[in-house]
Structure 1
Amino acid sequence: MWKDYSSGFIKNNKASSLSIMAAALIAALFLSFLCTLFYNFWMDETARIILEDGDWDGRITGEISELQLSTIKSFANVEKAVINNALSGAKGTVVDIYFYNRRVAYQDMPLIAERLGLEENAVSYNTLLLSQYLIHDPNAKQPPMLLSLYLVVLVLVSFSLILIIHNSFAVSMNARIHQFGIFSSIGATPGQIRFCLMQEAAILSLVPILAGWLLGIALSFGVMKAANLLVSQLPQRDNMLLQFYYHPAIFAVTILASLFTVLFSAWLPAIKLSRMTPLEAIRNAGGLQLKKKKKSRLLALLFGMEGELAGNALKAQKKALRTSTLSLTLSFFGFSIMMNFFSLSTLSTQYTYFEKYQNVWDIMVTLKDTEIENFGLTEKLREIRGIQDCVVYQKAMAKVHIPDSWQSDELAALGGPAVLAGQAASGATDAATAKEAGAWLAEAPIVILDDDAFRAYCKEIGITPRLDGTIILNQIWDSLHSNFRHRIYVPYVKEAQDTVTLLNAKQESDQAEIPVLAYTQTVPVLKEEYDNYTLVQFMPLSLWEKTADHLGGAEEDTYIRILSENRTDPAGMAALEQEVSRLISPDYDMVSENRIQDKITNDLMIQGYQLILGGLCVMLAFIGIANVFSYTLGFLHQRKREFAQYLSVGLTPGGIRKMFCIEALVIALRPLLITLPLTAAFIVFAVRASYLNLSEFLPVAPVAPIAVFSLAILGFVALAYYIGGKKILRCSMAEALRNDTLA
């Protein structure tokens, strides 16, 4: 049967065969691309986790003897147990445990702790590494699910590919129903028909699958190179560059998945076709048929008779074009939402970060595990050429009682801290306890400034510089009458007290009474965000050294805020950062930030996200466009009879071209018309949720990228119909009415 029929059909129906081959190529390309890219991301993320956290599976912390260490090693599933000398210390010995079978780590670790007589809190897990192997903590409310999300995307794309190829085979096989009915009537069995069709599918798909596999590898390699090109512009690029990996298992998965996708897609219409009775098959006249006649009033009104005919044809093709409509709709919706989201995010970041701190800092240095009183390079820093201003500061936490009588009149009129913030304003066990004590126990963050910076701050707010007291930031957010983006503040306390009693954050019985130099709503120029319901204190280093023993609560790190004289030159800023690093790094463990480089890094990250997510949207669009091409290149046999009938009753070739244009226009515009109202609703919701004005967003709205994406969809759909229509108009319509093959 293959020799007599199938090979001849393939040769005489090149358009249908090319449609199937193109669908198989697309399926193999996407599966190879996704599998390779997924594997590379998985390998890179796993390597990063191992580099940062180690390759251990579980960890035990406690007083562990040599005998107990031997007990851990005696467990059958324990590959090795190693003492981590870097982490062992005052809290006890830390033992890193490696398992033969990682999947039972969450079951074995509690048993090991129980055998050693330790509590459950002595056990910890390398959660991120285990999640890379799809091993999740059964008790975790929100386990890491990124890897699972990748797999879901892979399955959904594979399902979409099955639909594409299925449509290609269905178009080809449905065009031959009449012929197979004749074969059945002369003795061909359903099994022979299925075998013939599956054999055709295998022959047509083998070469495209191999070609798609190679193209998928090349495409994924190109994406990795593009990502590295973006990463190479970052200052910490050495640890962020992606390596390209490939494994024989990926080849096996790709080829098997592609073969399964192709054969399953062919089997679906083949099994349906083989079950038709000979009489049903012979009576099938081919062509497009509507089960229920409905007038296309809008198309008829706009385009006349051709619009009516195009509308009927689209209704008849609805099932075949369902995948393309869904894919094009999802791709356009995803792309438009993504572009608007990034535009909104960029605008928000610009307002809340880059514009907010534009005149606040240029270089930020963090001194790790360093107390401000132990830093002795402040004067040398200020002598570096190019530094306009420099502030060294540290943060600490204290508490303060705020009696009702001390609360400001404005705050009392609003109902007090309980109304504005509830429990967030109180450090007590609960709001009722705080109220019964007659005072709110509020947090009082302390910002410790070096003495010269504190004197400058005193001059800024208009008071005589002194180093024997604190300056209170006297404000609380009126959350009832403003939002987080446009905050309105009212005074927190009455500006009558000359002293304030600060309590140790951990031991409230330990306290210090400190003079109040001033109350203000002007903050020093620092890269800091202050909590909305706290009573912030600004204190000089000289005073902190006298009170630190009582208050405690200092953070481990000290910060240096630097303003540059030349604030717009990236090269000059980088050189200044290096000069600061040369002075500090020999004696201190430091990390520095550069405001201009942060802006560049943020822009590159946004571009990277857009590249990846935009690629997924383009992939969805390509699936829909491929489905349109698959249909238009394979529908010749069905529609040549249809158009021959139109020509026989007086429709001109120009009218047929008009029908094609109408069909292409509807197929391309339908997803856009469905998506635009949804996109507009998202924009309105997101802008309101961000407390921005629509007038602020409209100038940065991504109109141009969305328009280009829309025109690309319209252009490819038009191209598909142009190719299909050109082939139809070249056919002999008289021959089409009496011959079942198309040369």
Structure 2
Amino acid sequence: MNIVNRLTIRHLKQNKRRTLVTMIGVIISVAMVTAVATLVFSYLDLMKRQTIADNGQWHVLYQDVSKEQLAAIKNDEATQAVAITRDLGYAPLAGGQNTKKPYLFIKEYNEQGFAQFPVELSNGRLPQNDKEVVISEAIATNAKVKYAIGDRLTLHVGERFAKDTDYPLGQSDWLQITDGQTTETLQNMTTKDYTVVGFIKRPVWEPAWAPGYTVISYVDESLMTTSDRVDAAVILQKIDRSLFLHAEDLATNNRIESVKYNQDLLYYYGVVKSEVMNSTLFSLSAIIIAVIMIGSVSLIYNAFAISVSERARHLGMLASVGATKRQKRNSVFFEGAVIGVISIPIGMIGGIVGIGVTFWFLNSMIQGVLGITEKLTVIITPLSLLIACVVSMVTIFISTYLPAVKASKISAIDSIRQTADVKLTRKTVKTSKFIRKLFGIEAEIGLKNLKRNRRRYNATVFSLIISIVLFLVVSFLTGSLKQSLMLSQKGVNYDIEVSYSNDDRIDDQTVQSITSLENVTEYSLMHELLMNAWIEEASISDQLHEALKKDRSMLEDGKYPYTIVVHALNDSSLQAYAKAVGANYQQLVDANHPAAIVVDTVHYKDFTSGKYVRTKSIHTNVGQSFDLTLGTEKETDVNKMTIAALTDQPPMGINQFVAGDLSVVDIVVSEPIMSQLMDGKDNAYVQTYLYLNSSDPLQTQQEIEELKAPNLHVYNLYQSKKQEEQSILLLSVFSYGFIVLISAISIANIMNTISTSIALRKREFAMLKSVGMTPNGFAKMMNYESVFYGFKSLLFGLPLSLLVMYLIYRVLSNKFSYEFALPWMSILLVIAAVFVIVSSVMLYSSSKVKRENLIDALKQESI
């Protein structure tokens, strides 16, 4: 080690506090980059594992393939593994007591299929040939049919067909019943003999309303004939966007008619077929990486830049004893290398440990509350560690290079005297006369102190600006991601829907029997009526305006025909809903002046562009009214309806996701108003639904079906609701974790920068005290400096944040269309937090300065 490097190490040891502060800045920065990268990779890994646990591990599914086509798929160079599956059909369940599930549904897997798909064995073993089966435990618990391992079954298997149709029905199609009688038939029957070798948990992919209990057998490829057809679920060797083109080419070359992709799983690999979605993900990733890198650069650079004057003085002393420009630059680089070698590993370990501790706390919540079967696991990848290393090393190099170059260009005397950093010209420290008049001499001195060393002042302001931008951008980004995810969901807000298949109303006794069941936690009884209204052209949705530019034939007298879906809630549900949306309940039950709550916001998927859109289905205001009719004629049986409230939050049972018809509007009224609309008319127009939430939806469904009410139909959507809630809440956990992490980093950045700045000004403060500044005056000066820092950082930080937020919005609008909205709560929080944090840190740091001995502080050469 040469003499200059030894002197550099000695200088670092002598200035322990400055060295420690610089190292803390680097450690925090590396920890932030490492933690964010680990958080993202871990979140994606969790979602991959959860998707596989729910739907199986496969990337491409070739449907209805022959033995020859299957061989081509298996021999394809892109194929890693192939699972063979086949839906054999339905067989009547002998002795079944559940009239809504009269069948056994037989599905077949090969050995690889049992490994790839979520088949959870509870007892016995899996089938090993096509004469063996495992059956769902739900048969014993729901159908009350007793099976045991070793039982022999003779099943008559066929395909389900609805009356007067030639298209077979599947598990997603509920049992076809009319007037209590089954109207579907089993056709193309074959007889199969099986032996029961085990029991399985009810598969998550079996719809709750499916008419058949799952039975799984074995498909043996070696026994396939040329006429047999199976599905091939493929795991690929390599997962990238080329898989879509490759799969389509393989299908075309081998005359395979149907190819499906596991979009849910591929999405978490960052592989999407849509060019628009791919561009959106790429642009969004670039913005996130840029935000993280800027935050990292600011942390490390400020840690060095805040003490540039101290290093410049040290380098000037080296120059005075003969050090060359190259030696001075190498000295600074060596200093950065020493700090980096110590700080980077500590930062990485700290970031990983911090995320590990966070996951330890989160796992109990996401598994207990969300029902997630997989655990959050800390995923450490070489890429994330490499990113943290490279970003940190490059930033340290930049942070050390700039002051080194500056120091090498000035003379030794100027470096030692620090005349390059502090230039007390009249123009430099000039302040407005109003400052003294408005705030006093202390404010003027504080402002002059900031101006006399602009480098240190600008470094502090820059740190505050970056912290503001980081927090606001991350808050807006996570909110936008949640909004985008919610747009892509169906918005199911209930577990079970109960209705009569022949459009009769559910009688009060049946409602009471169902709602009093043990596991029912919430219910809403809703009557639904379809009516019509002619809406003024100025009030129709923006999308309909665009359609009218091409075809105005739908307009009549300047009005557009709308379908109004009138929903009448029972009294208790209406009171709760009115309170939630801010409507006047008394106005809603006033029969003399009919009023309704209008759900004016919907979302849908535009199949032309593939974009998810959130929009207003109607433009109107509270207090306005429209005319409702049962027919299409505008003058027939007109009922005037006043708008009591507008909302984007539908009640239980109404989904905001529409199929694309924006001329449909949901309104909510009271039961007396519904009766008034139906006065003298046929009640057949009204359909009644009972919506339930349950702590055990499957058990509740079973208990409702056991009531054996004729024509009662139970539609259990708990699985869809659960998956949507899991997706949204998991993203919320990720989002809030990201915000908390960035907030902690931002606060640490501010504290680090300001405390170091105050520490470097000890001599300056001592000089002010020596010429008569009182403790009260000193406190006032520090308060005014805090205000100056806060206003200056907000002046630049807020516009810059708005610019980045709008950029993120424009990127997401390529795939998700919704109105740009500022995060006002986050902005107000930032404004308050900046002044609170800056003031607190400055007061704390200055209180430590106050305790310094005046003479020692004046003599101090280093910190």
Q: TM-score range by the shorter chain?
A: 0.5 to 0.7
SS in 2 for 1:319: helix
Distance, in Å, in 1 between the alignment partners of 2:503 and 2:364 is 42
Q: How far 1:303 sits from its partner (Å)?
A: 2.8
Q: How far 1:590 sits from its partner (Å)?
A: 4.8
Mapping 1:328-347, distance limit 5 Å: 328-330=467-469, 333=472
Q: How far 1:206 sits from its partner (Å)?
A: 4.4
Q: How far 1:197 sits from its partner (Å)?
A: 2.6
Distance, in Å, in 1 between the alignment partners of 2:308 and 2:526 is 77
The 3 A distance-change label for structure 1 pair 620 and 304 is farther
Match of 1:37 in 2: 39
Name the amino acid aligned to 1:106.
Answer: F
Mapping 1:555-570, distance limit 5 Å: 560-561=689-690
Match of 1:15 in 2: 17
* Residue from 449, 461, 472 that aligns with 1:322: 461
Q: How far 1:210 sits from its partner (Å)?
A: 4.0
SS in 1 for 2:371: helix
Q: How far 1:41 sits from its partner (Å)?
A: 0.5
Distance, in Å, in 2 between the alignment partners of 1:656 and 1:734 is 18
Q: How far 1:326 sits from its partner (Å)?
A: 1.1
Distance, in Å, in 2 between the alignment partners of 1:220 and 1:173 is 33
The 3 A distance-change label for structure 1 pair 722 and 608 is farther
Match of 2:443 in 1: 307
Name the amino acid aligned to 1:281.
Answer: S
* Residue from 413, 419, 426 that aligns with 1:285: 419
The 3 A distance-change label for structure 1 pair 185 and 232 is same
Q: How far 1:110 sits from its partner (Å)?
A: 3.0
User: In the alignment, does 2:632 pair up with 1:631?
Assistant: no
SS in 1 for 2:73: helix
Name the amino acid aligned to 1:114.
Answer: T
On the 8 A contact 1:57/1:129 being kept in 2, the answer is: yes
Match of 1:491 in 2: 628
* Residue from 238, 246, 249 that aligns with 1:101: 238
Mapping 1:384-395, distance limit 5 Å: 384=513, 386-387=515-516
Mapping 1:695-706, distance limit 5 Å: none
The 3 A distance-change label for structure 1 pair 391 and 105 is same
The 3 A distance-change label for structure 1 pair 287 and 107 is same
On the 8 A contact 1:324/1:627 being kept in 2, the answer is: yes
On the 8 A contact 1:327/1:623 being kept in 2, the answer is: no
Distance, in Å, in 2 between the alignment partners of 1:631 and 1:259 is 18
Distance, in Å, in 2 between the alignment partners of 1:297 and 1:741 is 35
Runs of 5+ unmatched residues, structure 2: 89-106, 108-158, 160-166, 169-228, 485-490, 518-522, 568-588, 590-595, 601-615, 642-650, 667-686, 803-822
Distance, in Å, in 2 between the alignment partners of 1:107 and 1:428 is 38
Match of 1:27 in 2: 29
Match of 2:224 in 1: none
- The structure where helix makes up a greater share of residues is 1
User: In the alignment, does 2:385 pair up with 1:247?
Assistant: no
Mapping 1:519-558, distance limit 5 Å: 527-528=653-654, 533=663
Match of 1:157 in 2: 292
SS in 2 for 1:561: strand
Q: How many pairs align?
A: 603
Match of 1:741 in 2: 862
Mapping 1:350-369, distance limit 5 Å: 365-366=496-497
Q: How far 1:176 sits from its partner (Å)?
A: 2.8
Match of 2:249 in 1: 111
SS in 2 for 1:212: helix
Name the amino acid aligned to 1:55.
Answer: Q
* Residue from 721, 724, 737 that aligns with 2:842: 721
What TM-score results when the alignment is normalised by the length of structure 1? 0.63
SS in 1 for 2:234: strand
On the 8 A contact 2:82/2:235 being kept in 1, the answer is: yes
Runs of 5+ unmatched residues, structure 1: 346-352, 358-362, 401-406, 448-460, 462-472, 498-515, 537-557, 564-569, 681-700
User: In the alignment, does 2:501 pair up with 1:372?
Assistant: yes
SS in 1 for 2:277: coil
On the 8 A contact 2:303/2:753 being kept in 1, the answer is: yes
Name the amino acid aligned to 1:320.
Answer: A
User: In the alignment, does 2:795 pair up with 1:667?
Assistant: no
Distance, in Å, in 2 between the alignment partners of 1:198 and 1:36 is 29
Q: How far 1:156 sits from its partner (Å)?
A: 1.9
Deviations 1:628-668, CA, capped at 9 Å, x for gaps:
33334434685345445545654455544432232123324
On the 8 A contact 2:26/2:300 being kept in 1, the answer is: yes
The 3 A distance-change label for structure 1 pair 123 and 606 is closer
User: In the alignment, does 2:261 pair up with 1:125?
Assistant: yes
What CA RMSD, in Å, does the superposition of the two structures yield over aligned residues?
A: 5.9
Match of 1:503 in 2: none
Q: How far 1:143 sits from its partner (Å)?
A: 3.5
Deviates more, 1:189-198 or 1:31-40: 189-198
Name the amino acid aligned to 2:252.
Answer: E
Name the amino acid aligned to 1:483.
Answer: T
Match of 1:66 in 2: 67
Match of 1:140 in 2: 275
On the 8 A contact 2:59/2:266 being kept in 1, the answer is: yes
Mapping 1:451-462, distance limit 5 Å: none
Q: How far 1:561 sits from its partner (Å)?
A: 0.6
Deviations 1:395-443, CA, capped at 9 Å, x for gaps:
9x9xx9xxxxxx99xx4xx77x89957996999998567789xx99998
On the 8 A contact 2:786/2:842 being kept in 1, the answer is: yes
Distance, in Å, in 2 between the alignment partners of 1:67 and 1:440 is 56
Distance, in Å, in 2 between the alignment partners of 1:735 and 1:392 is 80
The 3 A distance-change label for structure 1 pair 303 and 495 is closer
SS in 1 for 2:276: coil
SS in 2 for 1:163: helix
Q: How far 1:13 sits from its partner (Å)?
A: 1.9
User: In the alignment, does 2:396 pair up with 1:263?
Assistant: yes
Distance, in Å, in 1 between the alignment partners of 2:665 and 2:349 is 64
Q: How far 1:23 sits from its partner (Å)?
A: 0.5
Deviates more, 1:666-675 or 1:308-317: 666-675
Deviations 1:436-459, CA, capped at 9 Å, x for gaps:
9xx999989999xxxxxxxxxxxx
Name the amino acid aligned to 1:658.
Answer: K
The 3 A distance-change label for structure 1 pair 617 and 207 is same
On the 8 A contact 1:665/1:714 being kept in 2, the answer is: yes
Q: How far 1:233 sits from its partner (Å)?
A: 5.9
The 3 A distance-change label for structure 1 pair 618 and 560 is same
Name the amino acid aligned to 1:626.
Answer: A
On the 8 A contact 1:637/1:741 being kept in 2, the answer is: no
The 3 A distance-change label for structure 1 pair 148 and 366 is farther
SS in 2 for 1:96: strand
Name the amino acid aligned to 1:75.
Answer: D
The 3 A distance-change label for structure 1 pair 116 and 251 is closer
Q: How far 1:113 sits from its partner (Å)?
A: 3.1
Distance, in Å, in 1 between the alignment partners of 2:263 and 2:514 is 47
Q: How far 1:311 sits from its partner (Å)?
A: 1.5
Distance, in Å, in 2 between the alignment partners of 1:65 and 1:30 is 53
Mapping 1:436-475, distance limit 5 Å: none
* Residue from 322, 329, 347 that aligns with 1:194: 329
- The structure where strand makes up a greater share of residues is 2
SS in 1 for 2:322: coil
Match of 1:591 in 2: 716
The 3 A distance-change label for structure 1 pair 283 and 490 is same
Q: How far 1:207 sits from its partner (Å)?
A: 4.6
The 3 A distance-change label for structure 1 pair 426 and 638 is closer
Name the amino acid aligned to 1:78.
Answer: T
Distance, in Å, in 1 between the alignment partners of 2:623 and 2:862 is 72
On the 8 A contact 2:312/2:407 being kept in 1, the answer is: no
Q: How far 1:286 sits from its partner (Å)?
A: 6.6
Match of 1:509 in 2: none
Distance, in Å, in 1 between the alignment partners of 2:77 and 2:843 is 68
What TM-score results when the alignment is normalised by the length of structure 2? 0.55
The 3 A distance-change label for structure 1 pair 209 and 420 is closer
